[in-house]
Chains A and B, each alone.
Chain A
Amino acid sequence: MRLCLGLIGALLSFALIASPAAAQSKPDLTVALSSFSTEVLDPVLGGHVVKYYMSLIFDYLVGVTPDGQLSKDSGLATRWEPSADHKRWTFYLRKGVKFHTGEEATSEDVKWSLQRAIGKRSTTGYAGPLRTLIADIETPAPDRVVIVTKEPTLIIPTYLSRSLSTEGMILPKKYIEATGDDAFAQKPVGSGPYKFVEQVTGSHIKLAAVDSHWRIGVPRFKTITFKLVPEETTRIALLRRGEVDITDVGRERVKELERESFPIHFRREEAILTTWWVLPRDGQPTRDKRVREALNLAVDRSEIAQSIFAGYADPAHVPLGLSWAYRDIGFKVTPDMQYPYDPARAKKLLAEAGFASGFPLTMHAYQLPGLPEGKAFAEAMAGYWQKIGVQPKLVPVDYPAFRKNWFDRATPGAFGYYNVANRDWIGTYAFLEKQAYTKSRASDTVNDPEIDAMIEQVMRQTDKDKIGALLRNVYTRLRSEHYGVPVVYLHSPYAASKTLGKWNPGTVMYDFFLDELASSKR
């Protein structure tokens, strides 16, 4: 009996101790996000990583400006240069940069970090291509690193910069060697303006400012906290109550918040929302170019932009068209590339291709981070295709399930979609090499020998103009062959508190440039 009473007593007392109140006052910045992606704070072994919080903790080898230009002022490298044959890239490092442990960051740390990033266990997006490309990393002096490549290349600085993934983040060699990978992931140490304080997985990540940092001077906020708040209504209520300073909001809620005079910052064309089908195309209706064109003509892009995305989207007309790269490569979407909304011609094309009475089409429906409208979008697309006689069947899954089907080629011909994060020209090349190059495991929809040949040429090219010409040709062909159904460019709104002040969330994928916001240098 005593056993029982003890048990109950323990249960009750355990349950009744309320946790201490968390006070919220300024000098602290709180960011509420609907999704955290992976929460492992190891830039390299943590799975697919977003940079929102990582870029505060770590420095990159090469810095970028908020609009994505490589910068000598915000990275560990103060300058870099290629050898004449473009096979040796020398980086000169900033002196006196210290990790949060107090140790100075040297070329040894850079070498070790890069080797770890392109190692076998790395889970970063571009570890594969870098591993194939890099022959050796030399450290002739504590402030100098030389990266030796097997082929002439232009991509090294960009791949190791803040504009792409996390390969270029510089980690403390000694600390990680002493503590081990797991301990490092749980208590990461970098050299960035904010150091790690605590993390409750699935709830929040808290960072605290260093006294002063070469990137931003004396930080404006003592702490920065990222909170995971999946539900939209809750995030907006938190903003209204002043409990958070920045949050991502649904496009539908923008007008309402603007009326209440909350500043809304847009990341314009943050992603292209594009629909594609799982390979192989053989034996599928989409093998016929006319069917692919018909599927494109059946969709009223401006209606989707206006209605489902509340006007905060613009029609997209080029498959995989990452528009942030267009300026760099000199690509222009001409009026004749724009798909009109023409269901009548779509029907005619289907009939010509021998599908007068349509064909069954499987459309997966799922939500994605940054795309809360996912399922409505899938329903709308199915609705348009139904109107030209295609018989779409919506298959609701979650994204991991679809990704597995797609990678295993388990559902040939079935449709999916993704909001591909926009990026600059080298990022775009990296993306095309993954998604449009037949040999890549992730390639889909395209499978075109001509495009494969052009991508292979880009790999070996060191003349920026020639690369531009090749990429222009890739895009022209992607469009003329209708490889996929590009739908809209999404503008992503972020609402801020009224007292936050000026903030430029920038145009770099998966990054907000909160360090710029926290900077006292401006």
Chain B
Amino acid sequence: MARFVLTRLLQSLAALAILSVVVFVLARATGDPLHLILPMSASEEDFANARKYLGLDRPYVEQYLSFVGRALTGDFGMSLRARRPVGELIAQRLPNSLRLAAFAMTVSLLLAFPLGVLAAVWKGTGIDRAAQVIAVLGQSLPTFWVAIVLIELVAGRLQWLPAGGIGGLASYVLPGFTLGWFVVAGMMRLLRSGMLEVLDSEYVKLARVKGVVEARVVWVHALKNALIPVVTFAGIYFSILVTTAIVVETVFAWPGLGRLAYEAISSRDFPVIQAVVLTTAAIVAVVNLSVDCVYAFIDPRIRYVR
């Protein structure tokens, strides 16, 4: 087990190393941050001075090495735009992103469970189709549009919920729902196919023969087994939630990582771009790793397959 965890850990680190080069290059391809910092009247000399002051005049290889070196100690440098340590910016934003993702995850699970189970039990009927359509709807509309319509109706007109910004639990509802609904379809599919498989199995048939009440067969025996793939993919969905929240964060003025990345790209803030991408990637890696652990624990065969 320890060896399995260690191997997976090393593999994740390798992926992160590749990513660090890619993002270093990509960030610098976006242009020149100085055009946003210096005034219109700045001379060539001003540009040269500023470049030197910000350390952007050094050779790329040197910049990369110092970036990696310091990143390993948790220091991502200073934001060019905000003049604050990048680590501090990330620390401000990351919890907000994680909380929103957790809320959205809960929403999507709450929707996916009944839909998935109903669809499986009544496979091929109108209920199945209706459940599928409801689930897929969330994925069939651009999230920004869903968000805007929700804000206009629920916050602006009915005034039931906050329109934006982060605050109490109520402020999570609209962004959480918008984001959560987007991934319901995938999760519901998993549950449905898992349930179908299990409902067909000897194990459930045996339970039925033994005279266990049908509701109990479905909701306890079958569901328990159909959960395993959901747990596996929960990790992937969690990472999708963290990484695709940028649009939802923009509409709801949510101070999360996605928004930070967007601003960093618009202002060519290299250190922040690098740090956000690597942080998200690290989260994805950690979540996947934990999920693999769980999965390997439940089903030992997996350790050798992967």
**Using a CB–CB distance below 8 Å, which chain A residues touch chain B?**
1, 3-5, 7-8, 11-12, 14-22, 38-40, 42, 45-48, 120-121, 123-129, 182, 185-186, 200-204, 227-231, 233-238, 240-241, 243, 398, 400-401, 403-404, 407, 434-435, 440-442
Contacts and interface: CB of A to CB of B under 8 A. Distances in A.
A47 B269 CA distance: 13
B82 to A, nearest CB: 4
A231 B250 contact: yes
B81 interface: yes
A48 B39 contact: yes
A407 B41 CA distance: 10
Interface stretch (B19-27, B97-105, B121-129): B97-105
Interface string B43-60: 110100110010000000
Size bin of chain B's contact surface: 35 or more
Nearest to A440: B41
B37 A123 contact: yes
Interface in B78-96: 78-79, 81-84, 89, 92-93, 95-96
Contact of A401 (B31, B40, B93, B151): B31
Contacts of A435: 40
A40 B82 contact: yes
Nearest to B46: A120
Per CB-CB distance, the 7 closest pairs between chain A and chain B, nearest first, are A21-B168, A4-B293, A237-B163, A203-B255, A237-B156, A15-B102, A442-B40
B159 A241 contact: yes
Nearest to B154: A237
Given A38-B81, A233-B151, A234-B251, A403 B164 contact: no
A412 to B, nearest CB: 18
Given A47-B37, A121-B49, A234 B252 contact: yes
8 contacts: A14-B95, A229-B164, A231-B164, A234-B151, A234-B155, A235-B164, A240-B156, A441-B43
Given A1-B297, A404-B31, A227 B165 contact: yes
A12 B92 CA distance: 18
Given A7-B286, A233-B148, A442-B40, A14 B98 contact: yes
B5 interface: yes
Interface stretch (B182-190, B204-212, B222-230, B260-268): B260-268
Given A120-B49, A200-B92, A403-B35, A231 B253 contact: yes
Interface string B138-182: 000000000010011001110100111111110010000000000
B207 to A, nearest CB: 30
B137 interface: no
Contact of B31 (A227, A234, A241, A400): A400
B287 interface: yes
Given A39-B82, A229-B164, 18 more contacts: A15-B102, A38-B36, A47-B36, A48-B36, A121-B50, A123-B42, A128-B42, A182-B78, A230-B250, A230-B253, A231-B151, A231-B252, A233-B148, A233-B152, A233-B251, A238-B163, A240-B157, A442-B40
Nearest to A241: B159
Contact of B41 (A42, A120, A236, A442): A442
A435 B40 CA distance: 9
A239 to B, nearest CB: 9
A400 B266 contact: yes
Contacts of A403: 35-36
A237 B152 contact: yes
A8 B31 contact: no
Contacts of A182: 78, 83
Interface in B249-283: 250-253, 255, 259-260, 263, 266-268
B167 A22 contact: yes
A125 B41 contact: yes
A229 B37 contact: no
B2 to A, nearest CB: 8
B32 interface: yes
B289 interface: yes
Contact of B35 (A20, A201, A404): A404
A404 B32 contact: yes
B268 to A, nearest CB: 6
Contacts of A125: 39-41
B196 to A, nearest CB: 28
Contacts of B92: 200-201
